Amino acid sequence: MKKVITTEKQPIKLWLDDIESGAFEQARNLANLPFVFHHVAVMPDAHQGYGMPIGGVMASEEVVIPNAVGVDIGCGMCAVRTSLTTISTDRLKRVLAEIRRTVPLGFNHHKKKQDPRLMPKGDVALDELPVIAGEYQSALTQLGTLGGGNHFIEIQKGDDGHVWLMVHSGSRNLGFKVANHYNHLAMDLNRQWGSAIPKSWQLAFLPITSGAGQAYLQEMNYCVDFAFANRKMMMERVKDALLAVVQPVFFEPVINIAHNYAAMEFHFDKHVLVHRKGATRAQAGEIGIVPGSQGTPSYIVRGKGNRDSFESCAHGAGRKMGRKQAQRQLDLEREKKRMDDQGILHAVRSTGDLDEAPGAYKDINEVIDNQLDLVEVLVALRPLAVIKG
């Protein structure tokens, strides 16, 4: 931990020195909520989001805040270690071509609905999940699709000597619809109740014992499961693409983590609802994934169960530039050369791609160094080939 701020109603515990002003203002807002529990934790990759900083962790006893989970509910990572120890550039290119053939990217969906048996099978009937029920048929075409933004598929070489596969994606339009529905519902209810929390904070809440609060949590959990099902399907397609080019290849069990969700956990002698927005759970012994940018390493880590972070860690490098800012300010040829010199098959082709260039992100090694009290590094993964949405 870098510092503790004690000027607000609850402390703010920071794992970075250089938090941007907007993200810090959002952390202060969280710390002044009447229902925030114990303290607010801010991870080393933090930057400004909607309502709550991305890279923020907040717990409450009584309420859930949809904007403290975010619009891409269940977004997270999957990683698989393969038996391969090397792969040629020519074969990598063939693998990428096969992935692009079988995994829709960006706004694209499958032309046909996918097998409903691959959808989540929760404890709650579909007709009790109104938003998901309305979006279910559309979601069948989104299952196994990457999306855009910072989502990626990457082939990597680990310092353990093995080739790894990694997928970063979320709940697609399904999570977006759920998040927006319940955030607007919370805003309407807060207005009816005369809530003292300023609307400008973008932190409208729902009591977790209310019908609306329970409905959100049920639909949120479905989206978390859907996001995992989405990543699993893509990982299977990535494995198939590799097997179409190289045989034999054996695969270890998938590592999966989410970094946008809320869950009931036990902290500081109480059961509380922990909101993680761009933060990864890091309980003692728990294996996690902290990705870098497409030009920098990613890390397989093991949690240390640090109670001050609510047993959490960073979810990635974290942005240091907004998307439009990166497109305006970064030098295209310099960013491309940075990756070309490493032999990375990357996804930066034009100025429009600079929002996802390495220069738009914080130094992942500094992020890791700032959280060595939260996790230990198990494997460093160097990018070999990258597909972006």
Q: Is 184 among the catalytic positions?
A: no
Residue 4 is given by DSSP the state E
Closest C-alpha among 218, 353, 361 to residue 278 = 361
**Residues 6 or more apart in contact with residue 81 via CB below 8 angstroms:** 158, 160, 162, 164, 251, 252
Contact 135, 226 (CB under 8 A): no
Query: 27-33 long-range contacts, Cβ below 8 Å, gap at least 24?
Result: 27/53, 27/56, 29/201, 29/203, 30/56, 30/58, 30/68, 30/203, 31/5, 32/8, 33/9, 33/60, 33/197, 33/203
Alpha helices (runs of H) in the chain, residue ranges in sequence order: 21-31, 89-102, 130-142, 172-193, 211-245, 323-329, 332-340, 364-369
Angle formed by the axes of helices 172-193 and 130-142, to 10°? 160
Closest C-alpha among 272, 372, 237, 231 to residue 61 = 272
Contact 9, 332 (CB under 8 A): no
- Locate tokens 């429009």: which residue? 352
Residue 94 is given by DSSP the state H
Q: Which of 109, 162, 168, 315 is catalytic?
A: 315
**Residues 6 or more apart in contact with residue 192 via CB below 8 angstroms:** none
* Amino acid letter, 75: C
- Locate tokens 């099902």: which residue? 229
Q: Which residues are catalytically annotated? A: 315
